[in-house]
Amino acid sequence: MKPVIFGMAGESLSAEERAFFREAEPAGYILFKRNCVGKAQLRALTDDLRALHGRDDLLIMIDQEGGRVARMQPPVWPAFPPMQRFDALYDVAPSSAMMAARWNARAIAQTLREVGITVDALPLLDVRQEGASDIMGDRTLGAEPMRVAALGRAVLEGLGEGGVVGIVKHMPGHGRAMVDSHHDLPTVAADAATLESDLEPFIRLKAAPMGMTAHIIYTAWDAERPASLSPVVIEQIIRQRIGFDGLLISDDLDMKALQGDIPSLAAGVVAAGCDLALNCWARMEDMAGIANVLPDIYEISRARLDRAMAGAGKAVDDMPLEEMLAQRDALLGVMA
């Protein structure tokens, strides 16, 4: 098994992708809007991936946050609110906000589970900072670390109750970035003492099954390398200071924050301490290059992967989706 997550080009596997994926045996896959047309189509695609590898617990992930980040869209699937809605409710009724976030996450999980998706890149534990890039904005759970941790825990628990594994992101914190890391490399110059508040939600949720790194330079820790490529940040801050021992996935290697060819970047993030490299855009040349340069998955990373995926696909009950959404909407109605 190679320590990488690959994307696919379309609604079903091409013959070239099928042959390559069978040979390369990536640790998992990521889906985008281009892959999500209808329920039957999407279930057939995820079933095909599982059959290809003979792994019922295959990591198949998606970014289904709600708001502007939603790969599965209406009218086939419900529109989910951005995370800031739960932050706003917390101002009025903290307990209701946590319950609403949990019901919302359970509902998201049900829509994913029924089409065979096992992992959602949610929740964001980035602490929102005034004046920072709007790439986080309404995707975040607030500007106060303890609130972010409380709502983030509710989201993780809701996903888990729905049989889907959550990913805490973006470690060790994206909230201070002044530019969008999809387009530029952010540099955060805050000192280590100031950055403690960014770490707090991740520390509180350090037992999360999966985490995702940030493509950001933090000068207090490593002035030369972004976190995803920094053994200092990954080992000393994410693994030791935060205490995270879950499966660590890099953010997308194709983001413009990183410079260099994609295979070298994949090798770099794994060498720095990420368990898995994330390559989203299904370019066969890049994927073949990654498969050629990466070692087989390390034993410790395989153990983290297996541990993280142990609960995937196991929902606590078969409550109808409509009932979950009604529970959420009744709580959000407190703000009306």
User: What is the Cα–Cα distance from 139 to 141, expressed in whole angstroms?
Assistant: 7
Backbone angles phi, psi at 2, to 5 degrees: -95, 140
User: What is the Cα–Cα distance from 19 to 14, expressed in whole angstroms?
Assistant: 9
Q: Which of 53, 182, 245, 261 is catalytic?
A: 182
User: What is the Cα–Cα distance from 214 to 24, expressed in whole angstroms?
Assistant: 26
User: What is the Cα–Cα distance from 24 to 295, expressed in whole angstroms?
Assistant: 11
170 carries an active-site annotation: no
The tokens describing 67, both together, are 């708001």
The tokens describing 201, both together, are 């939600």
Q: Which of 198, 251, 252, 286 is catalytic?
A: 251
The tokens describing 241, both together, are 């200071």
Q: How many helices (H) and strands (E) does the chain have?
A: 11, 12
User: What is the Cα–Cα distance from 245 to 55, expressed in whole angstroms?
Assistant: 23
**Which residue's structure tokens are 């998606």?**
62
Strand 119-120 relative to strand 2-7: parallel, antiparallel, unpaired? unpaired
51: β partners: none
The tokens describing 139, both together, are 């995707």
CA atoms within 13 A on the CB side of 325: 11
**Which residue's structure tokens are 């540099």?**
187
182 carries an active-site annotation: yes
Q: What is the three-class DSSP state of 180?
A: coil
Cα torsion angle, 255, 258, 261, 263, sign: negative
CB 128 within 8 A of CB 136: yes
Determine how many CB atoms are found less than 10 A away from the CB of residue 90.
Answer: 22
Among all residues, which ones are annotated catalytic? 182, 251
